[in-house]
Every structure is written in C-alpha cells, then in structure tokens.
C-alpha cells in the first residue's frame, strides 16, 4: 500500500530529526513524507533539508503563520499546506506529529491492518511518555480513540469525512464522522510510539476555552458537554479546566459559532456518545 505522511512542525529542532530517523528505518517505507515547516525560528528547516537531500521521498514545505499556538486550527492549516503539495496517489494518508519515535514495524503493521480489513477507516498505535526513566502509557490514551499525534486514514475514509477540520476537536470529529459513514477504527496496543513532548505542553492561555467551543461545534449538547468536561478536567487534575471548558461552550453558543457537523451527523454523534456513557455506567 502506498503511504503518504504529512508532519506539521513548528520549532521542533529538538525532535524532528529523531522522528525522521525512525521513519526512514521502517521495515515498510512510506512513498512520500512532507514536513511542513510552520514558521519555525529554530533549525527545523535545516534538519529537514538534510534528510530531504539523502531521501528523495522526503520533502519540505515552508509555511508562514502566527507564532501563537492555537490547538487544532494552526496544525491542520499546516497539514493542509502539505496535502496541497502531494498528488492523490496514496492508499493511506498519515498526519504525524514532529516529536514521535516509531517502532521499526509501525508502518508495516498499520498497512497490514488496512489490507486485512476493508472496513477499517483509521488506525494507530499508542503513545508512551517518559517518566522517571520509564516509558509509560500517556494518560490521555484510550483504546477507543486515536490520538491526534499519529493519525492514519484510508483514502476513501479521509475523503468521505471531508478531510481534516481546522478547529479544536478535529481529532475527535474525524473519528465520529468515520463511524457515521460506517468505517471502523483500530488502535494496536502492540505498537508503542515514544511521544517526546507530551500533549498540551505548548498550550497557552488563549486556547483554554477552545475545548468547550469544540464540544459545541460538534453538537454535543449541554449534558454530554457537561459530562465530557468533568471527565477531561478530572484527567487534568484541575477544576479550572472544567470551568474553562464550560465557559468555552457557552461562549460559542452565545456567539453562534459555526458547527463542524450537520444536524444528522450531530444526532448520530449524540446517540453514539450516550451509548458510550451508558455502557461505562453499566460496568
């Protein structure tokens, strides 16, 4: 299967070399890798250029954007720049972060899953972070959810969900829409990916309401938003996160923010979320 990989990178000089080293060492190599250098002020560009000079299937796209880190919009806008530079001759399209180290068989195993299950729309491994010298499962990891750091999509699924939304919540709505269109999602516990910079490390104050805004834009409704906000705040260990999420939801509602999904898709998403909540309560 032909695999294309897009890696948005903003000031990732400390990590991007390790990510690319792990990808060029894969037992099954990708057909194309494009790194989008998103307004970096460090040596990200020169590191990628060195790899591109040695591997003709690695390319660099330079993009100018704001230095402000806004989860969702900035990274997907960079991803889309990379997508524009590629042709459509792929079977699998991947959005990877620039701070990951992949096991050597990662792409081989991902391709195997897509080959053996024609209903599979999305797949990934699991992220591990280093704590006290040990690599442990990142606490945001869930068997039912593919992390935004390492998304792999079948081409038909990618196009059917409308590709990726430049908004906070893009890495949840993509899965929900995939399920809406009848695709399956798989996470492979045997694929341990080292995540060098834990999620949320670079989030700033300006982004704190965006999670709640995303819940509104995905048409969760009040009660599912409330439950989701409580769960996320608990994982973060801070009541302030709960307040921020709910404030973001009500601000988006009062400002009549544009939805990411249609009414029919929203109804499907709410029903799916309620089923998941009830299932967990019954355990």
Instruction: Kindly list the domain boundaries of the chain, sorted by start residue.
Output: 3-195, 208-281
Answering whether pTM is above 0.85, one says yes
Radius of gyration of the chain (CA): 18
* CATH number for region 3-195: 3.90.550.10
Q: Is 204 left (phi over 0), alpha (psi -120 to 50) or beta?
A: beta
Closest CA relative to residue 58, chosen from 72, 40, 37 = 37
Tell me: the pLDDT tens digits for 140-149?
666 788 999 9
Q: What is the pLDDT along the chain (283 residues), one digit of tens a residue?
A: 999 999 999 999 999 999 999 999 999 999 999 999 998 999 999 999 999 999 999 999 998 866 555 566 789 999 999 999 999 999 999 999 999 999 999 999 999 999 999 999 999 999 999 988 889 988 766 678 899 999 999 999 999 999 999 988 899 999 999 999 999 999 999 999 999 987 654 555 556 788 899 999 999 999 999 998 898 888 777 888 899 989 999 999 998 888 999 999 999 999 999 998 888 787 6
């Amino acid at each position: 299967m032909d695999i294309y990989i897009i890696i948005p990178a903003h000031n990732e000089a400390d990590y991007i070399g390790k990510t690319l080293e792990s990808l060029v060492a894969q037992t099954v190599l990708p057909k194309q890798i494009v790194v989008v250098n998103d307004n970096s002020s460090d040596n990200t560009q020169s590191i990628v250029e060195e790899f591109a000079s040695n591997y003709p299937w690695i390319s660099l796209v330079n993009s100018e954007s704001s230095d402000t880190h806004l989860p969702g919009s900035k990274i997907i806008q960079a991803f889309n720049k990379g997508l524009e530079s590629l042709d459509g001759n792929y079977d699998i399209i991947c959005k990877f972060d620039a701070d990951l180290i992949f096991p050597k068989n990662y792409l081989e195993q991902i391709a195997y899953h897509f080959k053996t299950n024609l209903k599979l729309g999305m797949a990934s491994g699991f992220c591990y972070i280093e704590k006290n010298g040990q690599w442990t499962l990142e606490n945001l990891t869930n068997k039912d959810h593919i992390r935004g750091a390492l998304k792999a999509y079948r081409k038909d699924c990618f196009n059917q969900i409308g590709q990726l939304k430049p908004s906070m919540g893009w890495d949840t709505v993509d899965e929900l829409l995939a399920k809406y269109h009848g695709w399956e999602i798989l996470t492979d516990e045997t694929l341990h990916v080292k995540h060098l910079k834990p999620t949320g490390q670079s989030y700033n104050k300006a982004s704190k309401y965006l999670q709640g805004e995303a819940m509104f834009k995905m048409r969760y409704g009040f009660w599912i938003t409330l439950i989701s906000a409580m769960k996320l705040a608990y994982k973060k260990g801070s009541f302030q996160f709960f307040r921020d999420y709910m404030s973001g939801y009500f601000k988006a509602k009062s400002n009549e923010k544009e939805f990411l999904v249609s009414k029919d898709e929203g109804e499907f998403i709410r029903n799916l979320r309620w089923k998941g909540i009830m299932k967990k309560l019954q355990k």
